[in-house]
Amino acid sequence: MTFTPPSGAELAAIAQRYGLGLGAPDVEWYRELIAGAVTSYDVVERLYAARTLRLGEPPSRDWQWPAEGANELGAWYVTADLTEAAAGPLAGRRVAIKDNIAVAGLPMMNGSRAVEGYVPRRDATVVSRLLAAGATIAGKAVCEELCFDGGSHTAKTGPVRNPWNRVKTTGGSSSGSAALVAAGDADMALGGDQAGSIRIPSAFCGTVGHKPTHGLVPYTGAFPIENTLDHVGPITRTVRDAALMLGVLAGRDGLDPRQRAPVPNDVPSGGYLGELDAGVASLRVGVLTEGFGIPGLSQPGVDAVVRGAVETLRAAGADVSEVSVPWHLNGVHLWAVIGTDGAFGQMLEGNGYGMNVPGLYDPELIAHFARGRREHAAEMSITLKMTTLLGRYSLDQHGNQYYAMARNLALEMAAAYDAALAQVDVLVLPTLPVVAFDIPTGAQSLPEIVATSSGLMPNTCPFDVTGHPATSVPAGLHDGLPVGLMIVGRHLADGLCLRVARAYENAVGGFPVPPGS
């Protein structure tokens, strides 16, 4: 790698692109000036190379491609058996790691040919914490391409199939994580969530998925999409396991710019287990009106199952009331602008990490992805191509004006949820408006495929924009497929969300599992 000074022709092209009004003599003067200025780039390269030598090569860890016939769901990217501590709260528990999260020495694809072949040198913070807690890393779970789709059909390794019905989607983008936990192939999994990607597959697969308060769990070492939307958290079979895992994952690491105040340095005393079984007798549960009956989307049977779950909470002693937050209906539109302009600027143009924030970067991954993105652009998913086209157009025509509008409006939307949560302890609503649908086969039109995935987000993505914690638990079945109940709390009230989820789990005697798992 060498920073080659630009030629006169290259500078002339840049000057023309930005309308700098430079003639040939001006370009030559700037070329000579810049040739001297690149010395700093060379110094940084030498200093970083010395640092990289100190880090050494990626550790030698055993891993395997999934054995033939042993990956029926298409959910494993690679398998492994990594344990570093004999004791700890997660000792003996097999954990699948979403394949956008770095496990040093194991290949990482992030569902995309643009990332394929990259091998991280260091573990993500969450992986280090799992290993220190005694967990066994059982492998990397397939995720959707660059984690940018709510279905389970965009990973270049092939579709991930729902253990409840093999022709149905698992939802995404943490598709493999939820499928493996639901099928019993892993005890726990790490997922990521920018628009619902922990909660969507959890709702479709019948697992517990918790999206933490934004910044509570460090994102360091996970492939970013957009700093203000990025979350990582647990997917499990039981609420207790989700609370146990969150207690291991949470807390500052000093490297993640998402972890601003008031994210605590340490988890609460006793982790998230201390109040887990306190029940709901003293709690006020607000049923979010706007989360039901979404025109053109909500299946009446799904709404009915969730309202039945709410009645179970009422019977368990909760004080239940209807709550209206009209801003909720606009959440998907705020997300669409942030998730298009922001993700285009950071994930695509910024090669994942972007710039302008402190924290730990991964220069090798940035360079690898920059090359892969150019070489495999034509192979990218429909949603990524659409984001590239619209994001580039928006920024070319309007700068980041619309992104700025949406982020400012997000403050108002967050305040509206906060006002509702001052009147009740948690909000409840369907995680998704539908049950799992058939995996697209290619017979559908492009608009139909995009509409299918984007139609999953209206209830999940607003809470990525505002950063409120949200837990999805199985509410029951509709047409033989799982339905998700979502529980949303105040910022940093993750334990309260899990407490309500646990009370529901206890009231129904546990959650159903797929046939044969």
Does 515 fall in a domain?
no
Same domain? 271 vs 331: yes
Q: What angle do CA 440, 306, 459 make, to 5 degrees?
A: 55
The domain total for the chain is: 2
Active-site residue identified among 128, 173, 394, 472: 173
Same domain? 285 vs 329: yes
Same domain? 391 vs 496: yes
Three-class SS state of 226: coil
Is 174 in the active site?
no
Is 98 in the active site?
yes
Does 83 fall in a domain?
yes
469/149 Cα distance (integer angstroms): 21
Same domain? 163 vs 194: yes
**What residues have CB less than 8 Å from 8, skipping those under 6 apart?**
24, 27, 28, 31
**Locate tokens 């090569």: which residue?**
57
> What is the CATH number for 435?
3.90.1300.10
Same domain? 37 vs 105: no
Structure tokens at 48: 């970083």
235/210 Cα distance (integer angstroms): 7
Active-site residue identified among 197, 298, 381, 454: 197
Beta partners for residue 502, in sequence order: none
If one counts every other C-beta atom within 10 angstroms of the C-beta of residue 441, the result is 9
Does 384 fall in a domain?
yes
Is 173 in the active site?
yes
Question: What domain range is 455 assigned to?
Answer: 63-508
**What residues have CB less than 8 Å from 126, skipping those under 6 apart?**
101, 190, 217, 218, 221, 222, 232, 249
Give CA 374 to chain center in angstroms.
24
If we measure between CA atoms, which residue out of 112, 163, 106, 170 comes closest to residue 140? 106
Does 160 fall in a domain?
yes
DSSP 156-192: TT-PPEETTEEEEE--SSSHHHHHHHHHTS-SEEEEE
Does 20 fall in a domain?
yes
Active-site residue identified among 98, 156, 168, 211: 98
Same domain? 290 vs 361: yes
Peptide bond into 326 cis (omega under 30): no
306/442 Cα distance (integer angstroms): 32
Does 513 fall in a domain?
no
Same domain? 308 vs 173: yes
Same domain? 273 vs 130: yes
Provide the residue-wise pLDDT of the chain in tens; the chain has 517 residues. 678 999 999 999 999 999 999 999 999 999 999 999 999 999 999 999 888 777 777 889 999 999 888 899 999 999 999 999 999 999 999 999 999 999 999 999 999 999 999 999 999 999 999 999 999 999 999 999 999 999 999 999 999 999 999 999 999 999 999 999 999 999 999 999 999 999 999 999 999 999 999 999 999 999 999 999 999 999 999 999 999 999 999 999 999 999 987 888 888 878 999 999 999 998 999 999 999 999 999 999 999 999 999 999 999 999 999 999 999 999 999 999 999 999 999 999 999 999 999 999 999 999 999 999 999 999 999 999 999 999 999 999 999 999 999 999 999 999 999 999 999 999 999 999 999 999 988 656 667 667 666 689 999 999 999 999 999 999 999 999 999 999 999 999 999 999 999 999 999 999 999 998 7
Does 72 fall in a domain?
yes
pTM for this predicted structure: 0.96
Contact 174/155 with Cβ under 8 angstroms? no
12/59 Cα distance (integer angstroms): 45
121/107 Cα distance (integer angstroms): 10
Q: Parallel, antiparallel, or unpaired: how do β-strands 208-211 and 470-478 relate?
A: antiparallel
Same domain? 73 vs 48: no
**What residues have CB less than 8 Å from 25, skipping those under 6 apart?**
none
